Structure 1
Amino acid sequence: MKPTIPEFSPPADAAARRAIRPVICYPPETLPVPDLASYRAAREGWVKTAEVIVPARAAASFEVPAGHFFRITSIEGPQVGDLNLFSADLSERFYSGKTRALHGTHLSTGDRLWSSFPSLRPMATITADTLDWYGFDGDGGSVHDVIGTRCDPYTHCLLSDGGQYHHCCHSNLTRALAAARGLDLPAAEALVHDVLNVFMCTGFTRDTGQYFMKASPVRPGDCLEFFAEMDLLGVLSACPGGDCGSEHSSDMARCFPLLVETFRPSAPPAGWASPPANGYDRSHGG
């Protein structure tokens, strides 16, 4: 734990140093703005093309063609999910850190999930969020975070004095990706990456700055909906923490399945085109 009492006395100008105003690192005003009205109009007459049930404490994969929608829904009880997105050819992966830097710690309608370098382009756009009413609570918690990495067996082993647990989201995602693309487990594990924590309620404590979780407000029928900006492979784990109100990496929490549905619109959104790769020339000053 961090020491609660500083080792060093504050300087005479400590108050002035703390009073310096923050500056937003990446002002969003110049980001391309998704045309949500056009996306939503494209729902008219859409056709459901597939559905996948993600079992409790396990993961499943799904494919979404560019220009289609997918929706993650709570169906039996409060449950959070860890989402990895890949381009269909696995050359691009969801970049949670840059998504966080561009949109904030928690995502909602209109935010985008950005891909890894060197492409750095939108992979999916959030088009509906039935939990957008939650906002930030009195603890500083909110839903759909891009700050947690995913529960994993390595941290579990570290914190449980050698415990071996195989239903952590990292392992679930690894197995599901391996099955989806015919990879061996080491090759799949190397591709698994930090997630969007769908429905999870999280934040940082104000006194120690520690990552916390609390019981998700999600209930059956709540959903998070996306528009695929490119051909996607999704892998979703129904976290062994259930609603993450008590613990994760455990078989003790009540867990429930999640539903993933994909939809084909009758026509693409007006004016839509799949985003090109980032325009940086990759010379790096060389």
Structure 2
Amino acid sequence: MKLTRPDYAAPADAAGRKGLAPVICYPVETLPRPDLAAYRAARAGWQKTGETLVPPREGRCFTVPAGHFFRIRSIEGPQVGDLNLWNAANLSERFYSGKTRALHGTHLSTGDQLWSSHPYLRPMATITDDTLDWYGFDAFGGSVHDVIGTRCDPYTHNLLSHGGQYHHCCHSNLTRALADARALALPAAEALVHDVLNVFMCTGFTRDTGQYFMKASPVRPGDHLEFFAEIDLLGGLSACPGGDCSAEHSSDTAACHPLLVEVFAPPAPPAGWQSPAENGYDRSHGR
């Protein structure tokens, strides 16, 4: 819990210290930026090659070849989803939500990219369309598609419920989905599950205590978040047991709905596109 009052009196120069202007940690002006016009033009004449229905309170995996698109769609009612991404050929390369947050901000939308873990650190996917981009940031500081929440998990649920055993948290959903998709034992699959992109979830930090909050997602049937696969991907998506996360998660009481993942093959890759190489750092670490 946050302290209700500080233990120490403010120093004489407190106002000056607080008044210092912030500096962006990672200026991204030198990052190669995706050519969204070329990506969108490549959609003309695309063909749907597959779809995966993710049932309420469950998780499913799906594959997307490099150069293809995929959409996560709301189809029946307001529902948020927790997304993991892996390199389909190397599961140790996985989505790195923390670095993505550092580069693009707390919430993602069109033009932002999902970056992979060290030592690979390259774009795995690019967001090419977002029907909720109108939401922006609300008066509470909330926005959609965050990379700040980790995923609901049974360990935190056990702590907060004083011993409760709940198996449909997104962490467990993704663990079962990956285990089934790659014929892995549950412990091996669990070790590969990682922090997520919270698709459609509306979240932020409270202004007074800095606590992570959620509120009812604005998503409605027909809304989608669309991605372009920069490398061959294995995706995992959990339809969160919190439904639209308006009240609680990790429970069987919230109204939950399925999510649909659709994969599309364009007639040709976007003009000028090449799948990104692994990061160029030599890994010598000064030795």
In the alignment, what sits opposite 1:41?
A: 41
Aligned residue pair count: 286
In the alignment, what sits opposite 1:102?
A: 103
In the alignment, what sits opposite 1:51?
A: 51
Cα distance in 2 between the residues matched to 1:282 and 1:237 = 34
- Please list the CA deviations of residues 220-249 of structure 1 after superposition, one character each: whole Å capped at 9, or x if unmatched: 000000000000000000000000000000
- Kept after mapping to 1: 8 A contact 2:73/2:221: yes
- Kept after mapping to 1: 8 A contact 2:92/2:192: no
Q: Structure 1 regions of 5+ residues with no counterpart?
A: none
- Please list the CA deviations of residues 11-55 of structure 1 after superposition, one character each: whole Å capped at 9, or x if unmatched: 000000000000000011111100000000000010000011100
1:162-201 equivalences in 2 (<5 Å): 162-201=163-202
Cα distance in 2 between the residues matched to 1:53 and 1:281 = 41
In the alignment, what sits opposite 1:132?
A: 133
- Please list the CA deviations of residues 115-147 of structure 1 after superposition, one character each: whole Å capped at 9, or x if unmatched: 000010000000000000000000000000000
| SS of residue paired to 2:136 | coil
| SS of residue paired to 2:155 | helix
1:135-146 equivalences in 2 (<5 Å): 135-146=136-147
**RMSD after superposition:** 0.4
Q: Deviation at 1:2?
A: 1.3
In the alignment, what sits opposite 2:252?
A: 251
Which residue identity does 2:9 align to in structure 1?
Answer: S
Which residue identity does 1:161 align to in structure 2?
Answer: H
TM-score (norm 1): 1.00
In the alignment, what sits opposite 2:262?
A: 261
Q: Deviation at 1:91?
A: 3.0
Cα distance in 1 between the residues matched to 2:4 and 2:187 = 41
In the alignment, what sits opposite 2:14?
A: 14
Cα distance in 1 between the residues matched to 2:2 and 2:61 = 39
- Please list the CA deviations of residues 153-180 of structure 1 after superposition, one character each: whole Å capped at 9, or x if unmatched: 0000000000000000000000000000
The 4+ residue runs of structure 1 with deviation greater than 2 A are: none
Which residue identity does 1:191 align to in structure 2?
Answer: L
Which residue identity does 2:7 align to in structure 1?
Answer: E
Q: Structure 2 regions of 5+ residues with no counterpart?
A: none
2:55 is the alignment partner of 1:26: no
In the alignment, what sits opposite 1:276?
A: 277
- Please list the CA deviations of residues 64-101 of structure 1 after superposition, one character each: whole Å capped at 9, or x if unmatched: 00000000000000000000000002131000000000
Cα distance in 2 between the residues matched to 1:184 and 1:281 = 34
Cα distance in 1 between the residues matched to 2:117 and 2:157 = 27
